[in-house]
Amino acid sequence: MTDGSLEQYDYQLPRDLIAQRPLASRADARLLVVRRATAALDHRHVRDLPDILSGSDCLVSNDTRVVPARLLGHRAATGGHWEGLFLSADRQGLWHVLSKTRGKLRLGEHVTLTNAAGTADVQLRFVQPLPEGGWIVRPESDEESLSLLERVGRVPLPHYIRRGDTGEDRHRYQTVFARHPGAVAAPTAGLHFTEELIARLTARGVSLARVTLHVGLDTFRPVTADTLDAHRMHSEWCRIDQAAVLTVQNARRDGGRIVAVGTTVARVLETAAAGGELVPWTGKTDLFIRPPYEFRAVSALLTNFHLPRTTLLVLVQTFGGDDLIRRAYQEAISQRYRFYSYGDAMLIL
């Protein structure tokens, strides 16, 4: 089906299959291997990747770093509880945040943020309201934004993780590839990798390349439009440099597969290959991969299981095929795979 309807991207998931905590060992996550050529499904583990991939393959990961973007505080005027999510900062030091509180915030109002110890810290002044619960705010501090967030922010765990964040999440909701801060959600497929697994992959001969895409909140939101064509895709900043392009090109020249670690990597590669050839690229992408899209750069996709009716699931079904991926999801549910950010994974070959 390519009519743009959303019913083919819906499924029912038992609530107890939503992973609430990470596994003790990242690479012990289960891996459902989906082979498009034969429509075969194979149950493995992420630690088996060196046995599944060949020495000529190239693994491309996202090196974005999640910032502690969840904010808690109280309203100076009323004492009421306030919760927010940092989205971005501009050169003037203004923050774009999502805001949630009882009652209506007023222009010029202040919120006092509390740090991880629960102590009152810096104040935010509300400068300009934005659509959908957004605000432009000014932190009343000369401290650099990332430094301030490290002090007062919490790990921005997704809403379906029904617990507060812990010290463990500071480490575990971050990939081993993380280098460049800017994401407000983790590129979850990368959460399964360890330094030991990476060493085994390189010993196998698998080449590694890195791209950057700063994951935004809108990536994970359900599609609320009636059809895919009516959905407006928000943009996210991404980059692929010359070194990564050359690594990918060399692997392809040697007959290797280009394995995207996650949908974010797939979007970067396909954005940079929009002209037909993969080239270095920096900027914002609003690429919405949906039928009848033809992939130019990605040969295989390692991805977590995604929420229904999201652009992520649309991308995965576009890559793997509607019928096969729907069957894979039902198989994962029947075999009690763990779903979503801290859950298990799927490799589509």
Sequence-separated (6 or more) residues with CB below 8 Å from residue 338: 17, 18, 19, 29, 30, 344
pLDDT digits (tens, 9 = 90+) for 257-273: 999 999 999 999 999 99
**What is the CB-side half-sphere exposure of residue 186 using CA atoms within 13 A?**
26
pLDDT over 90 at 226, yes or no? no
- Would you state the structure tokens that stand for residue 187, as one six-digit string? 């590129």
pLDDT band with cut points at 50, 70 and 90 for residue 209: very high
DSSP-derived 3-state class of residue 33:
strand
Query: What confidence tier does 289 reach under pLDDT thresholds 50, 70, 90?
Result: very high
Q: How far is CA 140 from the centre of its chain?
A: 30
Same CATH topology for 7-66+170-348 and 70-152: the answer is no
Question: How large is the average pLDDT for residues 107-126?
Answer: 87
Closest CA to 349 of 59, 11, 25, 9: 59
**pTM of the predicted model, to two decimals?**
0.94
Peptide bond connecting 292 to the previous residue in cis, omega within 30 degrees of 0: yes
| 32-48 tens-digit pLDDT | 999 999 999 999 999 99
Task: Specify whether the CB–CB gap between 182 and 67 falls below 8 A.
Answer: yes
Q: Which two tokens stand for residue 205?
A: 């001969």
The DSSP output letter for 96 is: E
pLDDT at 1: 41
DSSP labels, 152-164: H-B----TTS-S-
- Name the percent of the chain lying above pLDDT 90: 83
Residue 224: predicted pLDDT: 80
Domain boundaries defined on the chain: 7-66+170-348, 70-152
Predicted pLDDT of residue 17:
98
Instruction: Choose which CATH entry (3.40.1780.10, 3.30.70.1290, 3.40.50.620, 1.10.287.110) describes domain 7-66+170-348.
Output: 3.40.1780.10
Quote the distance between the C-alpha of residue 45 and its chain's center.
21
pLDDT digits (tens, 9 = 90+) for 191-206: 999 999 999 999 999 9
64-116 per-position pLDDT tens digit: 999 999 999 999 888 999 999 999 999 888 999 999 998 888 999 999 998 87
Q: Which residue has the tokens 């040969």?
A: 299
The pLDDT tens digits of the residues spanning 303-338 come to 999 999 999 999 999 999 999 999 999 999 999 999
Q: Domain 70-152 adopts which CATH fold?
A: Thrombin, subunit H (2.40.10)
